[in-house]
Amino acid sequence: MERNWERAREFIELPAAVIEERVRAAFPDARLTAARPLKAGLRNTNYRLEIEGGPSPLVLRLYVADAEACARETAVLRAMGARGGGVPVPRVLHADPAADPPFALLEWLEGVPLDEVLRGADADTALGIAAVCGTALAAIHETRFPAPGFLGPEMRVVRPMPAWAPTVLSTLEGSVEERLGAELSASVRRTVVSNARAVETVWSEAVLVHADFKPWNLLVQPEAAGSSAPARWRLSGVLDWEFTCAGCKLIDFATFLRDEARLAPGYGDAFVGAYRSAGGILPADWRRLTRLVDLLNLMQMLMWSGEQATEDMRLLASETLDAV
């Protein structure tokens, strides 16, 4: 669904000489041979680079939406990379949070975005990949914090997480209410008020949350299989950690399962089953709570959404209200 949304920030077109200057900050003898814009994202500017005199290919990532995200994301990538195991992330080759705009040079990871694979996948493939992602998410959530909140450059909470209900209600004003419409806005308000206490029971969690754990940001690759055996898929990359925080694990469930109704039957159950098998713990009414938690993200995205994104988020908000 999100592939059709309008960008929230314009893509920055950089001359080759400027790109090469950033590469040489890490690799002084490097020479840029190719730079391909990666325009799939909605917020930041990314290029796939080919160079001589350094690791190639690699990614140049410019943090144009949130300057603080550079230090935050690269700190998490380094921490996850140091752990090893089931959460593949790109190595940070260089980062300059003080640049204008801040930028990072990241390892290029091979793989196909999961949303592209799911479009043509049969049910067995879709459920198998969902299980692989559930196992990885359980590993991400193993990292815990003393309290929920937003992370700083050293993976420490520097600002507390605001309460769910007041944040949704305050976001649902002005342009957001106008885009959502009066009737749907009123339904969201009623739902938030009546479910505030239930959501706060899980909102106080403080695990490492990716906060954008959607198929678009997950790379997968087929594993070698015998001539008669169906191909199995592995997770080859978890990308775009700019929103990462210490918070409620259901934020990641909400993002990953947002399009569940349009995917193979059993997709969500396979994902959750693998998550639990890997040690993840969920409340009994996790599905309802997940949909409620996602209302905050939907309302916040409506603050910048274009025409297509607004139409899709109205649909998602309506489906959420029908389900809870």
Do 160 and 290 have their domain in common? Answer: yes
Q: How confident is the model over 238-268, as pLDDT tens digits? A: 999 999 999 999 999 999 999 898 899 999 9
CATH code, domain carrying 43: 3.30.200.20
Same domain, 154 and 235: yes
pLDDT for position 41: 74
Residue 313 confidence (pLDDT): 87
Looking at the structure, do residues 21 and 78 belong to the same domain, yes or no?
yes
pLDDT digits (tens, 9 = 90+) for 78-103: 999 887 767 999 999 999 999 999 99
CA distance 94 to 179: 40
Place of tokens 């420490």: 156
For 151-174, what is each residue's pLDDT tens digit? 999 899 999 999 999 999 999 988
Which residue range(s) make up the domain with 223? Answer: 112-323
Using CA atoms, how far apart are residues 95 and 4, in angstroms rounded to an integer? Answer: 30
Of 191, 210, 194, 196, nearest in space to 164 by CA: 196
Query: What CATH number does residue 239 fall under?
Result: 3.90.1200.10
Q: Which of 90, 107, 124 is the last residue of a domain?
A: 107
Helices then strands, each counted (H, E), the chain: 11, 12
User: Are 121 and 100 part of one and the same domain?
Assistant: no
pLDDT at site 11: 87
The mean pLDDT value for 226-236 works out to 73
**Contact by Cβ (8 Å): 145, 239:** no
Q: What percent of the chain has pLDDT over 70?
A: 95
* Type of residue found at 287: R
Total domains in the fold of the chain: 2
Compute the average pLDDT of residues 49-65: 95
pLDDT in tens, 181-190: 999 999 999 9
Question: pLDDT digits over 199-217, tens only?
Answer: 999 999 999 999 999 999 9
Q: Are residues 201 and 121 in the same domain?
A: yes
Find the mean pLDDT for residues 281-289: 96
Are 251 and 297 in contact, with CB atoms under 8 Å apart? Answer: yes
Do residue 97 and residue 150 come from a single domain? no
pTM attached to this predicted model: 0.93
The contacts of residue 240 (CB under 8 Å, 6+ apart) are 41, 73, 212, 217
Verify that 27 and 132 share a domain, yes or no. Answer: no
74, 180: one domain:
no
Domain boundary among 107, 137, 160: 107
| pLDDT (mean) for 134-157 | 96
Cα–Cα distances (Å) from 193 to 167, 187, 233, 318, 319, in that order, read 11, 10, 42, 17, 18
Residues 84 and 230 placed together within one structural domain of the fold: no
More confident residue, 83 or 56: 56
Residue 308 pLDDT level (bands cut at 50, 70, 90)? confident
49 vs 39, higher pLDDT: 49
Residue type, 324: V
Domain shared by 27 and 143, yes or no:
no
Nearest to 126 by CA among 269, 10, 28: 269
Whether residues 218 and 90 share a domain: the answer is no
The domain boundary, picked from 42, 75, 107, lies at 107
pLDDT above 90: percentage of residues in the chain: 81
Are residue 145 and residue 293 in the same domain, yes or no?
yes
Per DSSP, the three-state class of 211 is coil
